[in-house]
Amino acid sequence: MSRARWTLAVAIALTLLLAWFVLYPIAVVGAEAANGTAWHDFLTRPGEWAALWASLWISLASVVLAAAIGIPLAFLFEWFDFPGRKTLGALIALPVVLPPLVGVIAFLFLYGESGFVARAIQALFKLEQAPWRLQGPLAILLVHAYSMYVYFYLFTRAGLARLDVSMLEAAQALGADRRGTLWRVVVPLLRPSLAGAAILTFMTSLGSFSAPYIFGGGFRVMTTQIVATKLNGDLPLAMVETVVLASVAVVALLILRRTEGNDILVALGKGIAPRPRPIRRAGVRRLTTIAGWGLAVLLLLPHLTLGLVSLVPYGAWTTEILPPVINFDNYRRLFSEAERLRPLLNSLWMASASTAAAVLLALVAGWLVVRQRVALRRVIEGLLVLPWALPGTVFAIALAIAFSTNAPLQLRFVLVGTAVILPLAYLVRALPLTGRGLLAAYRQLDPSLEEAAASLGAGRWRTLARVTLPQLRPGLAAGASLAFVAALGDIVASIVLYTYETRPISIEILSSLRLAETGVAAAFGVVLMIVSAVVLGVGARR
């Protein structure tokens, strides 16, 4: 077979494979939902409309809150200099890299009704019962704001760092004061960054599952509604709900992308970013420093609490403010009892397998899309990023339905209940992460490096191993570590698709919580946090 034909064959094979497990399950759900009778149920039950409305307003409110926290923080850390600026600046970006479930249970242990803060207030004012119950929409919003301000913080800082100082100087030379410069120059130039953060926050909130699941109580959003319907066995209705959520996500994404404006704004700024201004007045400087450190402690407090709770043995902590006993009992149980170790090993191998597969597919896709520029490149790229645009619940339900029937002629097999389905679900969610990282790295790779290797006598495989892969390594490692951590902490797909044998960490955390074994749940959370941090640290190394 000639070279070009071989390339085309690989391109077609990859496209069909991706379409089979990314697009096809959703198409199956769409088709079955369209034929079903559940639309009537959906349209007439008030609970359904309430959940849809809740998803929308919670997402919008999350964007507003996250922006309100993240943007001022970004300006503070990018434009002003005070002691500890660099360390703090990195620390407060931490929540973004940790699995949402870890943040949620950490929040529960800190601000929940039997959490630290509640106990302290109860003891302080000698109250009969906990001063509040952390439940309902406000609790969800609090958790969202806490974890998603980081998007605004990071995007705004990146935007500010790209800003050309000479543009600010030009505005001042033309007579604009500080406020005028901010509103007429800085904010318009930041627009693409802010819009990007808003899109990411909105889409993440819309797909958010662990916060509404744990803090929602009777308050349902679409993601928790879908899973509840599925667990009740009302599959036709779950499919309709899934189609509705997917449609809302796509429409929202299309509307939000229009706010991004054009990239020319960004491309123009090629100068030097403004240098951070030292704060000169001693009082203000001290105040800023204290506020900065205070904020960092506040933001990291949930994770510190998680660490503490993990050290409290079962049943030892009842009414005291501080735990009376701390030891490593929970960790010992976690690693010595086979039934507790199982979820950890499950999560590790399933995350590794899905990440390896996602990296391999991304590599082939990168080669086809960037290097060979095959005719199908837009389709391949679209399939790679599609899972990013739709909430995880949509894919979980789609896979659950498409692969619970044996119909080989329709390319449907019974995978639900086997060890394959969870890694496959993780793989779908991993594709945008490894795909984007790899395509970006491939696009930056100078083609003459590969030509140089060829002219020096290196064949295709030697060039791949000695030149291409080492050059792609940073993008590959970044994408792979994000994918691994996402799979390790996944709850959305797991809760729909797990079996007792394949149960991952997140499911074990939930069942520990249900049995009031908070210490074990926290210990799992800490392990998850540490493994994630290590993997991401390795992935970010240049």
Partner 1 sequence: MSGFLEIRGIEKRWSPDVAVGPITLDIARGEILALLGPSGSGKTTMLRLLAGFEAADEGRIGVGGEDVTAVPPARRRFGMVFQHYALFPHLDVGENVAFGLHGGGGAGVEQKVSQALALVDLTGFERRKVHELSGGQQQRVALARALAPEPRVLLLDEPLSNLDPTLRERTRRELRHVIKRIGITTVFVTHEQDEAFDLGDRIAVLNGGRLEQVGVADELYERPVNLFVATFVGRANVFRGRAARDLGGEPTPDGQVLVVRPERLQFGASGLPGVVRELRYTGPATFFLVEGEDGERFEVLAQPDAARIDERVHVAATRVIVLPEPGPRR
Q: Which is nearer to partner 1, 218 or 459 (CB)?
A: 459
| Amino acid found at 328 | F
Cβ 371 to partner 1 shortest distance, Å: 13
DSSP collapsed to 3 states, 414-476: CCCCCCCHHHHHHHHHHHHHHHHHHHHHHHHCCHHHHHHHHHCCCCHHHHHHHHHHHHHHHHH
Is 2 a binding residue for partner 1 by CB under 8 A? The answer is no
465 in contact with partner 1 (CB under 8 A): no
Q: Which of residues 417-446 bind partner 1 (CB under 8 A)?
A: 446
**453 is an interface residue for partner 1 by CB under 8 A:** yes
In the complex with partner 1, the residue whose CB is nearer, 3 or 258, is 3
Q: How far apart are CA 25 and CA 29, in angstroms?
A: 6
Binding piece for partner 1, criterion CB under 8 A, among 19-27, 109-117, 173-181, 466-474: 466-474
Select 377 or 473, whichever has its Cβ closest to partner 1: 473
Binding flag, residue 451, partner 1 (CB under 8 A):
yes
Q: Any contact of residue 471 with partner 1 (CB under 8 A)?
A: yes
Phi, psi of 403 (to 5 degrees): -110, 35
The span from the CA of 403 to the CA of 476, in Å, is 30
Residue with smaller CB distance to partner 1, 298 or 456:
456
Out of 35, 44, 318, 455, which residue is the one contacting partner 1 (CB under 8 A)?
Answer: 455
The residue within the footprint of partner 1, chosen from 45, 86, 466, 541 (CB under 8 A), is 466
Alpha carbon of residue 341 to chain centroid: 25
Within 8 A by CB and 6+ apart from 87, the residues are none
Nearest to partner 1 of 185, 445 (CB atom): 445
Q: Does 411 bind partner 1 (CB under 8 A)?
A: no
Pick from 218, 283, 408, 457 the residue near partner 1 by CB under 8 A: 457
DSSP 136-183: SHHHHHHHHHHHHHHHHHHHHHHHHHHS-HHHHHHHHHTT--HHHHII
- Is residue 380 within 8 A of residue 15, CB to CB? The reply is yes
> Rounded to whole angstroms, how far apart are CA atoms 385 and 402?
20
How do strand 277-278 and strand 80-81 relate by DSSP bridges? parallel
CB of 540 to partner 1, least distance (A): 17
Give yes or no for residue 467 binding partner 1 (CB under 8 A): yes
Query: Considering the complex, what minimum distance in angstroms separates the CB of residue 370 from partner 1?
Result: 17
Q: Which among 192-200, 277-285, 299-307, 461-469 is the span making contact with partner 1, rule CB under 8 A?
A: 461-469
Would you count residue 175 as binding partner 1 (CB under 8 A)? no
Under rule CB under 8 A, residue 459 binds partner 1? yes
449 belongs to the binding site for partner 1 (CB under 8 A): yes
Amino acid letter at 209?
F
Nearest distance, CB of residue 12 and partner 1, angstroms:
23
| 435 touches 479 (CB < 8 A) | yes
Name the residue nearer to partner 1 (CB basis): 51 or 453.
453
Judged by beta carbon, residue 148 or residue 472, the one nearer partner 1 is 472
What residues contact residue 80 under an 8 Å CB cut-off, 6+ apart? 276, 277, 278, 279, 288
CA separation, residue 125 to residues 1, 128, 332 (Å): 81, 9, 37
**Residues forming the site for partner 1 (CB under 8 A):** 446, 448-449, 451-459, 463, 466-467, 470-471, 473
